[in-house]
Chain A
Amino acid sequence: AQRVTQPEKLLSVFKGAPVELKCNYSYSGSPELFWYVQYSRQRLQLLLRHISRESIKGFTADLNKGETSFHLKKPFAQEEDSAMYYCALSGGGANNLFFGTGTRLTVIP
């Protein structure tokens, strides 16, 4: 069975500090991992996906199959990064997403 765990419900960092949002997953096959973000009063939107290996808005995430993790990182947090972040998994070629419970990131000016 699929499972996505985001251990931190709330995370606060100061502007300019590094930020890491943790995500661990459980899946028997080869998963596709995603990070979705929801800014205040906006809809849920894709931030990045591991197969793209991109850096979006300064964020990166590396899939670590050994540790079954897909942590989201940014070296210098900005106030506009404050949002709700969800880690999600898709498996077996299907497009249905399994989401974690989310981490609310607050960047303190």
Chain B
Amino acid sequence: ETGVTQSPTHLIKTRGQQVTLRCSSQSGHNTVSWYQQALGQGPQFIFQYYREEENGRGNFPPRFSGLQFPNYSSELNVNALELDDSALYLCASSLDPGIYEQYFGPGTRLTVT
């Protein structure tokens, strides 16, 4: 069984640029959730994708968008990067959108300068 993988591991971008982060869900999981974890904070829910559709969104502006592909892998896109977007971005997959255990990836560390 393959766990959740994320790429890249680290990324440095300039304010105003755009970034795409990638996540491969655990085998058999059809639901992917994205979280932002700022330094010293707990993870904060961005949105969830289930069968290629957005299935819930947290309090993040529209410049945070996502995609889920037929193989259930997912992308997080952030446009017009701001300094406050610097954070660890976590992807988590689960068997279903219901209350099931979420399996987290190692995260992508984004630094915006």
Contact = CB atoms under 8 A, between A and B. Distances in A.
A95 B102 contact: yes
Interface stretch (A40-48, A55-63, A65-73): A40-48
Contact of A44 (B31, B90, B94): B90
Contacts of A44: 43, 90, 92, 104
Contacts, number: 58
A101 B31 contact: no
A93 interface: yes
Interface residues of B, number: 28
A95 B41 contact: no
Interface of A: 4, 32, 43-46, 49, 51, 86, 88, 90, 93-102
Interface of B: 4, 31, 33, 35, 40-45, 48, 56, 58, 90, 92, 94, 96-107
23 contacts: A4-B42, A32-B99, A43-B107, A44-B90, A44-B104, A46-B101, A49-B101, A51-B99, A86-B43, A93-B98, A94-B48, A94-B56, A95-B96, A95-B97, A95-B99, A95-B102, A96-B45, A96-B48, A96-B56, A96-B58, A99-B42, A99-B43, A101-B42
